[in-house]
Amino acid sequence: MTDAGRQATRPRSRRPSMADVAAVAGVSHQTVSRVLNEHPSVRGETRERVLDAIATLGYRRNSAARALATARSATLGVVTTGSALFGPTSTLIAIEGAARDEGYFVSVATLRRYDAEAMHEALEHFMDQGVEAIVVIAPQDDVAAAVESFRAPVPVLVVAALEKLPRDAGTTAAGPTTLSLAVDQRAGARTATEHLLDLGHRDVLHVAGPQDWFDARARAAGWREALEARGIAPSRPRYCSWSAEDGYTAGRDLAEAVVAHEGPTAVFAGNDQLALGILRAFWERGLSVPDDVSVVGFDDVAGAAYFVPPLTTVRQPFGVLGERSVAMVVAALAGGTVPTERIVPELVVRSSTAPPPAR
């Protein structure tokens, strides 16, 4: 073993440095830097030697020192509501994963309240960390309203099905800008409703989510548009929270109407949890899905394929959403033109939908 190798095995009172890695690998400091930055000019044998030295020493790059040297923190700030609901949580996970794949760290600020003061606190938190851009997951009206006061000196991406962009939104390369990205909730709801209409249903009821959520309003709008395009007057939606409990309550009322042949032949639920509650209520009343009534959900949560029956639903491409979020931020940081984008979701047809029963 070389002297450098013996030194590497001794207990250390400080973190190993790039100089230590270079000594163990028998290369220059610059070569270690090139390996860490994946420079193509390093020979394969040399690269392996450096990587082995890194593993032996347990070396970790000092991101703070790197930020000082490059004037870049490689960190994105993410503002979230802290909701445990499927959509916001999946969005956060997707953004964090995509950022890591692109070499960025993620710093998360969870809002306890949704006002200008809370947004300013989040901004100060991020500016202290030197974030390069900020992503705001803004599913509700009050969160988006708070973004109006969010004047950051870095690009801001709002992930929400906004009816309109925040004030001063744009794509200029001259300075920080506000960008917008979302899954096209309206298109997904139209597709789900059109699926039911194509099966022959004419009485399609919508059990909607809370109307202070952009997604809920967009899904209701898509359902309405699909019916009106076929010359069918929409009935009034049943408004609920996002919970399976609310779906169950709505489902019990709907079940009585279906049994009396006065209810809908199909139900489009605002999310899969509402659909789950509806399925339970129908089962308790002895109704068969889809023989007596068809049910469609939205989200394609884990386990939706194992509901009884397996649920037809709209799958949100959260992986794509995360990738596009980071790609838009990177493009904005490079001064490129970044258009507003809507990602189209996918209908997943399973066993909960069929042609309507003869009445």
Indicate whether 4 pLDDT > 60. no
Q: Which residues of 183-209 are buried (b: 16+ CB within 10 A; e: fewer)?
A: bbbbbbbbbbbbbbbebebebbbbbbb
- Distance separating alpha carbons of residues 213 and 210, to the nearest angstrom: 6
Structure tokens at 75: 């960190």
pTM for the full predicted model: 0.77
Given this model, what pLDDT does residue 13 score? 55
Three-class SS state of 76: strand
What backbone torsions phi and psi does residue 110 show, to the nearest 5 degrees? -100, 120
Is 105 within 8 Å of 61 (Cβ atoms)?
no
Q: Which residue has the higher pLDDT, 3 or 112?
A: 112
At 255, list the tokens.
């079940």
pLDDT over 70 for what percent of the chain?
88
How far lies 86's CA from each of 14, 106, 188, in Å?
43, 20, 16
Report the DSSP pairing between strands 313-315 and 346-348.
antiparallel
- Per the rule left: phi > 0, alpha: psi between -120 and 50, beta: everything else, 335 is left
Identify the CA nearest to 152 among candidates 79, 89, 64, 83. 79
CA atoms within 13 A on the CB side of 25: 28
- Check: CB of residue 59 under 8 Å from CB of residue 18: yes
Longest dimension (CA), the chain: 89
Category of 317 on φ-ψ map: left (φ > 0), alpha (ψ -120 to 50) or beta: beta
- Tell me if residue 111 falls in helix, strand or coil: coil
* Count of CB atoms situated within 10 Å of the CB of 6: 9
Provide the phi-psi class of 56: left if phi over 0, else alpha when psi is between -120 and 50, else beta. alpha
Residue 333: Cβ-neighbour burial (10 angstroms; 0-12, 13-18, 19+): middle
In tens, the pLDDT along 242-284 reads 999 999 999 999 999 999 999 899 999 999 999 999 999 999 9
pLDDT of 127 strictly over 90: no
Residue-averaged pLDDT of the chain: 86
Cβ proximity of 287 and 258 under 8 Å:
yes
DSSP state of 285: T
Measured in whole angstroms, the distance separating CA 93 from the mean position of its chain's CA atoms is 7
Phi-psi region of 200 (alpha: psi -120 to 50; beta: other; left: phi over 0): left
Q: How confident is the model at residue 145 (pLDDT cuts 50, 70, 90)?
A: confident
pLDDT band at 44 (very low <50, low <70, confident <90, very high): confident
Token match 């493009």: residue?
A: 331
**Weakest-pLDDT range from 103-117, 172-186, 332-346:** 172-186
Element holding 158 (H helix, E strand): strand 156-159
Domains contained in the chain, CATH given? 3-61 (1.10.260.40), 71-184+317-344 (3.40.50.2300), 186-316 (3.40.50.2300)
Return the SS3 of 277. helix
Residue 41 in this model has a pLDDT that exceeds 50: yes
CB atoms within 10 A of CB 167: 10
Sequence-ordered strand ranges (E) for the chain: 75-80, 105-110, 133-137, 156-159, 178-183, 204-208, 238-239, 266-269, 294-296, 313-315, 341-343, 346-348
208 within 8 A of 220, measured Cβ to Cβ: yes
Cα(13)–Cα(76) distance, integer angstroms: 32
